[in-house]
Structures are given as C-alpha cells and as structure tokens.
A and B are shown apart, each in its own frame.
Chain A
Amino acid sequence: MSRSIIFYLHAHQPWRLRNYTIFEATQSHNYFDTDDANSNSNRRVIEKVAQKSYLPTNRKLNALLDKHPDFKINLSITGLLLEQLEAWAPDVLTSFQDLASTGRLEIASETYYHSLAFFYDRPEFERQVEQHKRKIEQLFGQTPTVFRNTELAYNNQLGQWADQAGFKGILAEGWDPVLGWRSPNFLYRPAGAENIKLLLKNYRLSDDIAFRFGNRDWEGWPLTVDKFINWINGTDHGEVFNLFMDYETFGEHQWEDTGIFDFLEDLPEKWLSKPDHSFMNFSEAIDKLEVKDDIDIQNTVTWADTERDLTAWLGNSMQQEAIKAVYDLGETIMGSGDWQLIDDWRRLQASDHFYYMCTKWFSDGDVHAYFSPYKSPYDAFLNFMNVYHDLHWRTAIFQDNIIQKETV
C-alpha cells in the first residue's frame, strides 16, 4: 500500500501595533511598532524568529532536499512576512528562495495580509489573493495553484469560490465532526464544487509534532521518528498523511533543545527507507490521487483550539465590533486611491490583531500559553480602536475633500 506524506509549513508574522493613545489620533499615522528599543518591535521580532527558527530550519531543509532527491515540502508565506523579510532579513528571504529553486517546494496561495476578508468583504479578499499571487510569482517564480485561507478557515462557499477561481486544490482541517466516518487521509471534493480537490489536515499526527513534541507530560514523549512512522503505518486507511503546521513550530514553538531539529533531520531518511513511501507536493497529490467522496462543510472550520471554529478571532463582542469597524471603512478607503491609507487599513485586517482580543483563555488565567504583545485582551482592543479612530479620521478627511471639490 503506497503512502505519502504532505509536509506543509505556514509562515507568517503580522505588523504589530505600537502603543497608540487617543491623544495621537489625527496627529500621528504611524501605527506599527518601529521603535527598536522595544523588544516587541516588528524588526526585533523578525530578527529573533529568524535566528531561532527561519534560518536554522531553512538550513536543515535545504540540506535534506540536497541529500534526499525524493524529499518534498510545501509552504505558505504571507505578504506581511515577505515584506518584513525584505526589509530586515534578506538572508532569510534568500534561504526560502533557495528552497524554491530545487523545484520541490510548492507554495500555496492565500491572502497577502493574513486576513479574514473572505467573511467580510469578498472583492477585497480577491484583491488580497491576487496581490499575494503576484508577490509569490515575483519572488519565487512560481504561480500557486492550491489555496489555503487564513487560519485554515474553510466552508463550502470557500471551496466553491476556489473552484471557480481556478485553483486545483484547497486545504482544510480534517476535523472529525465534519468528516464523520471518513478518514482525513484521502482526497475529497468540496460540496457543490466541480474540479477542485480538498486536502485535509491530519490534526492528530500534525499536532503530535506542532504542539505536543516537547511536552514531557504527554504519554507519547519522547517522540522519535521511528515511533511516529509506526503510528502512521498503524493507521488502517490512507493514501496521504497531511502534516500541516506553523513554520515556527521548528525552533520557536518547539525550542531547539526539545530535539525538534533532530526529528526533522531523521524524518525523510527513515520514511523514505520503504519503497512504497513518498513525500508529495500538493499538486502532485492532486494529479495522482482520486477523490473518495464529497465533503459538506456548512459551518466554518479552522485549525484553532478545541472548538476548531472562528471564536478565537471573532468569539466576543470586542472582536466583532473591531473587525466590523475596520471593514465598514473599506469602500471609502478603496475609493481614496491613497495607497498608504489602503496599506495601513489592510495591515489592520491581519487576524492576529483580533486574536490578541480573545478572552477565551484570559478568564482561565492561561494567558501565557498564547503569545500576545498586550497585557490583556482589553488593552489589545483599546489600542486597536485608538488606531481605528485615526484611520476613521483619515477616511473622513478624504470624504471632506470630495465634498469640498463637489461644492466648489
């Protein structure tokens, strides 16, 4: 029985906001943390993650691609991260380009701004997907054919949209309540779609690496490659095993001293030692494998938390009010033709800003489990809204000018 691993990493960093007070609204329009004396400045975060994760991981991946001609990897990387790498860590960007130049790194399409625009502003969503596609073409010389939405947020409408937009594949969480008796280890077709194929994350195997790897209280600890491969081979059914995770799993979420890099080092050699085992790129799997069934996902599924829904970003009224406020400005901002304003507006759409306002864990006192630059979700909300007020002012000023021109 031939079995393949689709190994896919998602890389992203938002533009974090600086501490912005209501007194600055109308006075200052630089919202993003560029004060490098602050350890949370965007530049210093990029430099830190580059040292801990991007550079060592890419070095390792490069060596593995070199050593194993059948090793293949898949990546998604947001426009927000790419532009920050261009500014502050061009060596990291080069290391990604080196991986792509092997022809065995496939890059997925997504929104440039890591936004949830699909659910709020469809034309804006499509513009962001297009902007991301151009960026990937320009930097990596490949055109993405497989789509992943921010936070892997997926429902039937998205599947149908991606089908219409000409994508051949789309990614989603292989969450049991939507799969029913089906296994995530095959390809499926989104309900109502014609050509596109759905690849489902095997969240158990993926999270064994991404979340549990370094946890000494976990019964599976320590996780060796032999043990991991045994688990895959112990699965009754399956053609593809979709290991989807954040890029920062390597070196940032799981620190080097957990042995995560040794695990990565051993995985290709040991997996490929059986002749019917392989690694695949997304497109290859889509071309080679048949769909087994239609999958109907009416309610949005994501890859976050035990709920696997959007509540980490949109679960409370602060998050809903903040995101609605931002998208309500969209039409005027897009009409302004002011590209600085448009870019600032889009950066504020990054899902991270709303994630920082999540109160699900805060009430349990479990704030440390998730990284946030803020002391509390309430502070995150107030800071975001202060920035919103300035954005509103800039938008209103633009409208004032139109009215003046019309009346003159």
Chain B
Amino acid sequence: MLGWELPPHNSGGLGVACLQLSKALASSGADISFILPYSPTAGYDFMKVLGASDATAPIPYATGVYESYKYLTASGSFDLDLHDQQELYAHRVGLLAESMEFDIVHAHDWLTFRAALLLRERHGCPIVLHVHSIERDRAGGHGGNPLVRKVEATSMLLADHVFAVSERTKQMIVDDYGIPADKIEVAHNSIDPDVFEFSDGNNSYHYLKYLKDKGWRVVANAGRLTVQKGLPHLLAAARQVVDYNPRTVFLIVGDGEQKDELIRLAADNGIARNVIFTGFQRGQRLRDAFSIADLFVMPSISEPFGLTPFEAAGYGTPSLISYQSGASEVLRSCLKVDFWDIDLMASKIIGALRSQALLDELSRNARIEFEKLSWQQTADKINSRYQKMAGAYA
C-alpha cells in the first residue's frame, strides 16, 4: 500500500482512514506493507510500515496531500515542487519494491499515484487507486491546480481499478475526468467503535463548561481551516444564531491557510466574543471539543466523505452536515442542509439548540448508527476485488 500519511503524523482524516482500512483488510487475511514518504515512528502488528526516505515526518497540520495549491511552483514552505515530490517518492518506492514481493499495489490519493504507475510498469502487477478526495474538493468546488488534475486524470485512466470514498466522489471522478463509471467502486469510510477513544468526564474546556452551566449553547466544528470546509458560511449563519440567542458560542478547532481570514470574518460579523478558535488540537482536547458541543456542524462545500460527524455521534453529539458530503450518504440520524443555504443553516442550528428533545433524539439514534459502524464491510468489498484482480492477472 502506498500512502502519504499515517497517525500520529496525520493532518486529517486521510491518515486515520488508511490505518483503519489496513487493519480491517489485514484481519481478513491481507498481507500489507505500507510505504510512507517519511520515516515512520510507530509500528503495528497487523502490517509492515516502511519509509521511502530517512526524512522525519512533516509538521502535523501542513502535510502536502491536502495543500495541492502550494505545488504550482517550488516556492512556499516546500523545498520540492509537485513534480519533484512525486518523482522522489516514486523513485524511492521503486528501489524499495525491488526486494519485495507483492500481488497488488493499492495507492491512496494523488501524490502516490505516480509511484503506483511506476510499479505496474516494472512489475506488471495490477494497481488500485483509492480516491479520498479529488482536486475539485480540495479547491472548494472549483477547478484547482491543473497539474494535480492532470495527475489524477491520467492515473485513474491507466489504473486497473478505482475506489472512491463516496457516491459523490465517484460521480465527480466521472464528471471531471471522464473515467468510466464501471471501473469505479464506492468504498465508504467508517469508524471502528472498538478502537474509538471515548472522553472522560473531565473536559478541558473549563470556560465553555461554565457557560453551559449558565444556559449557553456550544456549536463546534473540527477540521482544517481551508476553503473546502465552508467555514465562512458557518460564521455567516453564526451571526444570525447569535442575533437570536446571544448565549451561543462557536468552537472552531483546527488550523489552516484560512485561519486569519476566519478570525477577521468573525470580528467583521460582530461575533468575536462568540467564536473561539483553538488552533490545531489532537488527543483529549480534540475529543473534548466533540463532547462539549451541543451540536456539531460540518458545513463543507465539498467533502468526499467526512468522518467528523460520526466521531461526534460517538461522543453523543448530534450533527448538522451539508448535503455536499459523502457522510450524508451514510449517516441518517442528523440534520442536513445545502452548504450555500445560510438562512436555513442558521434556522436549523437555532431550531436544534432550542429543542433539547430533538438534540436527544438525534444523539440517541446517531449513537445507534455509530455502534453499528465497522470497516469490515468495506474491507470485504476491497478484498473480493483483490481476489478478482489477482485471478485475472495470474
């Protein structure tokens, strides 16, 4: 398997999804070697993790795979440009693979696709590309970086098979790149409740806890602060929510290139006191953000999947999510809205916060859905595809 990140050096959902999927596949009998671009710090008993270089992991919230817009030139915080990064990874993966035996190459997201193509050329093995997001998602619904689009289009055209994390993503691959729909199979992301870390009673947001005791309501979001995530729409809706009930606070957890713009926007909207930006958090402070919230909102403009509302469900917090997400294909017990419909978003937030009965009902049912979640179904689907492909090549 070729991937760009794994926990603890993940910048978002990609690393978590890769890890949990690999675990489920391994438990169905797959023998996996996972090659990262950096030298791994953690090992697992269910798969081998290799580094394509001796370099240490990048800083947590600036990993390249999401920041495709930075790869147009060699400038910015990256020493290598798009072409060099991929070439280097492909070259090193090629060297590593010389002494390895494998039946199938499974590559996650665009930066690893070139390496997958190289392995097929050299070893004649089938390649599977797993699309967690395409460039249009990362660019917030617009075209994005043409160089990245070219990599995605060419690789998927040449690939033996493509997995997409949602129907929505599959449709976008067909629309954007003209890849035949029958070559693309949907493999929804999931969560393993068994390894889910629950929150203990002592929440680290003491101030929010105090406010809640005084009758305030907390609305949370967690994710990268980037155009794809639609947070300016949430802040516009927040203005209306605060007008209706000034005792509402919005907790925004995460970091990204949009951070300064969002801070400014909250102030421009006159709700600086009602919006708290925590910066990037992981571990307990991330879990506590989910659990302190009365409502979790994922207002993404274009979300291939979006695991956060499922995590929120695990912490007993109901969600309002945009229809423009893969999660909305799977999660039933939540409120949904079009990301652009700010008035309706505000109205649904207000409505939910006003009705404890609604919040409780959503929370209970979402929790039932959460407990049924498992990667196994997805792993079985992928495994059976592996069998077919290996058979076809044999």
The reply to whether B206 and A385 contact each other, CB–CB distance below 8 Å, is no
- Which of these binds chain B: A187-195, A239-247, A376-384? A376-384
Q: Which one of B207, B267, B268, B276 contacts A26 once the chains associate, using CB atoms below 8 Å?
A: B207
User: Contacts A321-B267, A378-B263, A396-B214 hold; do A25 and B206 have CB atoms under 8 A apart?
Assistant: yes
Question: Which of B206, B264, B273, B278 is within 8 Å of A27, CB to CB?
Answer: B206
Chain B residues lying within 8 Å of A339, measured Cβ to Cβ, are none
Q: Per-residue CB proximity of B271-283 to A under 8 Å, as 1/0? A: 0110011100000
- Chain A, range 371-408, C-beta contacts under 8 Å to B: 376, 378, 381-382, 385, 388-390, 392-393, 396
A325 to B207, CA, bound (A): 17
Given A22-B276, A381-B263: A317 touches B268 (CB 8 Å cut-off) = yes
A41 to B210, CA, bound (A): 30
- Smallest CB separation, B202 vs chain A (Å): 12
Complex CA gap A25/B272 in Å reads 16
Q: Which B residues form the contact surface with A (CB < 8 A)?
A: 204-207, 210, 214, 259-260, 263-264, 267-268, 270, 272-273, 276-278, 285
Say yes or no: A318 contacts B207, CB within 8 Å.
no
With a cutoff of 8 Å between Cβ atoms, the chain A residues found around residue B277 in the complex are: 382
A22–B278 touching, CB < 8 Å? yes
Known: A317-B267, A317-B268, A382-B277. A393 touches B260 (CB 8 A): no
Say yes or no: is A23 at the interface (Cβ < 8 Å to chain B). Answer: yes
A residues sitting closer than 8 Å to B (CB atoms) are 21-23, 25-27, 316-318, 320-322, 325, 359, 376, 378, 381-382, 385, 388-390, 392-393, 396
- Asked if B272 contacts A385 (CB within 8 A), the reply is yes
CB distance from B246 to the nearest CB of A (A): 12
Contacts of A317 in B (CB 8 A): 264, 267-268, 270, 272
Q: Are B260 and A325 in contact (CB under 8 A)?
A: no
CA distance A316 to B266 in the complex (A): 12
A393–chain B nearest beta-carbon distance, Å: 6
Q: Known contacts A22-B207, A22-B278, A26-B210; can you find 10 more A-B pairs with CB under 8 A? A: A22-B276, A25-B207, A317-B264, A318-B267, A321-B270, A321-B272, A321-B273, A378-B260, A381-B272, A388-B273
6 nearest A-B pairs in the assembled complex, by CB-CB distance: A25-B207, A321-B272, A317-B267, A318-B267, A26-B206, A378-B260
Q: Which residues of B contact A389 (CB under 8 A)?
A: 207, 276
Contact partners of A26 in chain B: CB under 8 A:
206-207, 210
Task: Tell me which of B205, B259, B263, B270 contacts A23 (CB under 8 A).
Answer: B205
B264 engages A393 (CB within 8 Å): no
Do B206 and A325 touch across chains, with their CB atoms under 8 A apart? no
| Chain B binding surface, main DSSP class | helix
Cα–Cα distance between A152 and B303 once the two chains are bound (Å): 52
Rounded to whole angstroms, the CA-CA distance of A382 and B260 in the bound complex is 10
B144 smallest CB distance to A (angstroms): 25
Nearest-neighbor residue (CB-CB) of B203 within chain A = A23
28 A/B residue pairs, CB under 8 Å, sorted by A = A22-B205, A22-B276, A23-B204, A23-B205, A23-B278, A25-B206, A25-B207, A316-B267, A317-B264, A317-B267, A317-B268, A317-B272, A318-B263, A318-B264, A318-B267, A318-B272, A321-B270, A321-B272, A321-B273, A325-B273, A359-B264, A378-B263, A381-B263, A381-B272, A385-B273, A388-B273, A392-B273, A396-B210
How far apart are the CA atoms of A70 and B267 in the complex, in Å?
Answer: 53
Q: Which residues on the B side are within 8 Å of A382 (C-beta)?
A: 263, 277
Q: Shortest Cβ distance from B376 into chain A, in angstroms?
A: 37
Chain A residues, Cβ within 8 Å of B268: 317
Chain A residues near B278 (CB-CB < 8 A): 21-23
Name the residue of chain B whose CB is nearest to the CB of A322. B272
A18 CA to B272 CA in the complex, in Å?
20
Chain B residues, Cβ within 8 Å of A27 = 206
CA distance A359 to B260 in the complex (A): 11
Judging by beta carbons under 8 Å apart, are B267 and A381 in contact?
yes
Asked, given contacts A23-B285, A378-B259, whether A393 binds B267 with beta carbons under 8 Å apart, the answer is no
Residues of A within 8 A of B204 (CB): 23
| B272:A325 contact, CB within 8 angstroms | yes
B272 A393 Cβ-Cβ under 8 A: no
Contacting residues, chain A, for B210 (C-beta < 8 A): 26, 393, 396
Residues of B within 8 A of A316 (CB): 264, 267
> Which residues of the partner chain B approach A22 to less than 8 Å between Cβ atoms?
205, 207, 276, 278
Chain B hits for A376, CB < 8 A: 260
Complexed CA–CA distance, A390 and B273 (Å)? 12
Write the chain A residue with the least CB distance to B261. A378
Q: What's the least CB distance linking A322 to chain B, in Å?
A: 7
CB neighbours of A396 from chain B (8 A): 210, 214
Residues of chain A contacted by B205 (CB below 8 angstroms):
22-23
Contacts of A322 in B (CB 8 A): 272
Closest chain B CB from A372 CB (angstroms): 15
The winner among B205, B263, B278 for most chain A CB atoms within 10 A is B263
